[in-house]
Amino acid sequence: MKVPSKHAALSALFALFTFSAGAKEGMWIPTLLEAVEGEMQAMGLHLTAEDIYSVNQGSLKDAIVHFGGGCTAEMVSDQGLLLTNHHCGYGQIAYHSTVENDYLTDGFWAMTRAEELINPDLTATFIDRIVDVTERMAGAEDADAEREAIVAEAIEGTDLEGKVVAFDFGNSHYLITTRTFRDVRLVGAPPSAVGKFGGDTDNWVWPRHTGDFSIFRIYADANNAPADISEDNVPYRPAHHLPVQIGGVEPGEFTMVFGFPGTTEQYLTSDAVEFVINELNPMRIGMRDASLAVINAARASSAALRIGYADKQSSVANAWKKWIGQNKGLIELNALGKKRDLESSFAKRASQAGNRTYAACVPAIQALNAEYFPYQTARALFIEYVYYGADILNFAHAFRNAIESGAELEEKGEWQSTLESLRGTVSGHFRTYDAATDEAILAALTGPYIAHTPRPEFLPQALQGVANGTDFASDLFGKSIFDDEEALVALLDKGSPKAFSKLAKDPAFQLIAQLRSTYFETVAPEYGRLREALDLQTATYTQALRELFPDEAFFPDANSTLRLTYGKVEGSAPYDGMRYEPFTTHKGILQKYIPGDADFDLPEDLVEALRRGEWGGYGNADGDLPVCFTGSNHTTGGNSGSPALNGDGELIGINFDRTWESTMSDILFDETRCRNIMVDIRYVLWVVDIYAGAGHLVEEMDLVR
């Protein structure tokens, strides 16, 4: 694809905003901070843009970690110690938990380095540098080749990785080089009664009393470079680690959040917002209602299932609740009306300006959207059914090579290693697998999947004519081998490629193979073509908005790259007669405490410790233990675990959520309503040091007051 010729550079765009007031909306590219340095300093920043992001010296960015690809974390010691959210480390905490050693319920604290727990496949990525390559990309005949050349030049002879990322629908491009560590160990996690206090009830809700943190350590080789997991590795020495401020923050104080926001969709046109509200969200919410009913019942039935399905429950429930709030907020804020108003004044200004490209872009987007929506629906259904649905499907898919190419693998001498790796897959999968639960999930999702499939050709043959999801699932599980560990182990022991080839007829393998081929052959190519066409038009639209509405701010959407957002400590008044204070304390934990409740129970020793009130230097001036606070920093998913920093770049908290009234902010940000939620670092330290007795970890940190 050829990249559209560039209009004005983003840096020019940012220069404009220096003069606009109240710049709380926006996720700033760290290389362009000079444009807002003045405003940040006026709000209380005592650092320079160069202190935050520099390629010449250690800067704040060297303490910021892309954790596991989807979250953020921050370095807090010169020995590789990092803090992130409990919900970001949840998969690892659950992975190490058993009914006997239940770290989810009881918490986990490594008292020595030897006790830290290894996590296969967990990564921690640092940004080396971010370079604007827009001009080079705009001049390129072959964008893919140019991208590759830019990366190859940048990483040659280094241990870096690199990629060229499109920003703002391709209006600009940045080269981002990174260094990824592969040995990241679990060091500490509070009990879920702290780390997930309030459960699904309090998720996305203020006032909040969750200690949503966990602690890991990055290990490197003797040269401080990334290495595979090994006993020889040593704690990583970062170029910068954050000082930890235990003096607290005041209402109105400057804050910034530095991390990796995932996705925002601020430039959806009105028809697309209508589609999200009326079709996409209700469909996804409905499917998750159905699977959550199964998962929640299973988890309530036994300790093994409570642990085994903890991670799946969390990931299904998190977006499910967000979408519910998002729809509510979009409707309350009249997002549709606002988008339509913007589009009609846009049309007027574009025609006054006599710019036909500009005038044509919104109708062009809407025409493309009409074609795009069925593909978007099909893609969302595939994600829900395959990635958030029954685990038997992806598990069966892991056998594809052995089933389809066993003989060739044997010829190439790769058969034994294939069997070996499948043994690992089987034992990993069955550690927590429950066939009855999985069958019930498949039963619950099959009906909705079929009913929502927008076109007959998007439905795999195996699902055509299926009238009853329960019967379908029971038949599939009755015939498939993929829910039977013993049978699979016996097959692996026998090890004949021929026996594996017979599994091609297995109904679970058939179903996933057909789901994938239908999706990748019938849906994905057209989805991709339309997405590209939409990006081209939307690039013009964002550019035109900036030109035709010079007094308004239009920020580049989040795209999982490093961004800085800033605001201040403040509450909100989301509804008439209702006020949110910006701080919560330990008193609220005790007020919410309900013995025996799944979301609000507390361990006895925690209740006693909170009642005793010995804060060990982490209390506030009123003698309370601060727990969470809110701020007007523009954040989204992916900012989970991001450091909340004061004007001196000191750690004051860890970002983990947004308030219920902010859940629509990915599509429509509202400065009066949108608040991010952070756990106060003093609560984190009190839990680690005083409650859990893991003070050796706090000793590694640089505390300041």
Contacts with ligand ASP by CB under 6 A lie at 318, 635-637, 639-640, 656-658
Q: In Å, how far are 16, 53, 92, 113 from 187, measured between CA atoms?
A: 45, 28, 11, 8
Q: Which residue, among 288, 434, 270, 458, has the nearest Cα to 379 in the 3D structure?
A: 458
Residue among 275 and 656 whose Cβ is closer to ligand ASP: 656
Q: Is 480 annotated in the active site?
A: no
Q: Is 87 annotated in the active site?
A: yes
The token duo for 246 is 């235990």
Residue nearest to ligand ASP (CB): 637
Min dist CB 198 to ligand ASP, Å, is 12
349 burial (CB, 10 Å; 0-12 / 13-18 / 19+) is middle
**Cα 605 to Cα 230: distance, rounded to the nearest angstrom:** 37
Q: Which residue, among 152, 118, 132, has the nearest Cα to 556 in the 3D structure?
A: 132
Going by C-beta distance under 8 Å and a sequence separation of 6 or more, which residues neighbour residue 591? none
**Cα 412 to Cα 416: distance, rounded to the nearest angstrom:** 10
| Catalytic member of 212, 311, 438, 689 | 212
| Catalytic member of 405, 480, 572, 640 | 640
Residue among 146 and 212 whose Cβ is closer to ligand ASP: 212
Going by C-beta distance under 8 Å and a sequence separation of 6 or more, which residues neighbour residue 173? 3, 132, 133, 134, 136, 137, 164, 165, 166, 167
Residue among 162 and 643 whose Cβ is closer to ligand ASP: 643
The token duo for 694 is 């893991």
Parallel, antiparallel, or unpaired: how do β-strands 254-259 and 643-645 relate?
Answer: antiparallel
Residue among 172 and 636 whose Cβ is closer to ligand ASP: 636
Chain mean position to CA 519: 24
DSSP symbols for 176-214: EEEEEE-EEEEEEE--HHHHTTTHHHHTT-SS------E
CB 457 within 8 A of CB 451: no
Parallel, antiparallel, or unpaired: how do β-strands 626-631 and 234-235 relate?
Answer: unpaired
Min dist CB 323 to ligand ASP, Å, is 12
Q: How many CB atoms lie within 10 A of CB 132?
A: 18
**Cα 127 to Cα 177: distance, rounded to the nearest angstrom:** 6
Residue among 73 and 539 whose Cβ is closer to ligand ASP: 73
Min dist CB 640 to ligand ASP, Å, is 4
DSSP symbols for 447-510: HHHHHH-SSGGGS-GGGTT---HHHHHHHHHHH-STT-HHHHHHHHHH--HHHHHGGGG-HHHH
Residue among 80 and 641 whose Cβ is closer to ligand ASP: 641
Q: Is 46 annotated in the active site?
A: no
**Cα 568 to Cα 254: distance, rounded to the nearest angstrom:** 4
Min dist CB 471 to ligand ASP, Å, is 36
72 burial (CB, 10 Å; 0-12 / 13-18 / 19+) is buried
| Catalytic member of 7, 66, 86, 87 | 87
- Reduce the secondary structure of 370-416 to three states and give it as a string: HHHHHHHHHHHHHHHHHHCCCHHHHHHHCCHHHHHHHHHHHHCCCHH
**Cα 473 to Cα 374: distance, rounded to the nearest angstrom:** 26
**Cα 650 to Cα 304: distance, rounded to the nearest angstrom:** 41
Residues designated catalytic = 87, 212, 640
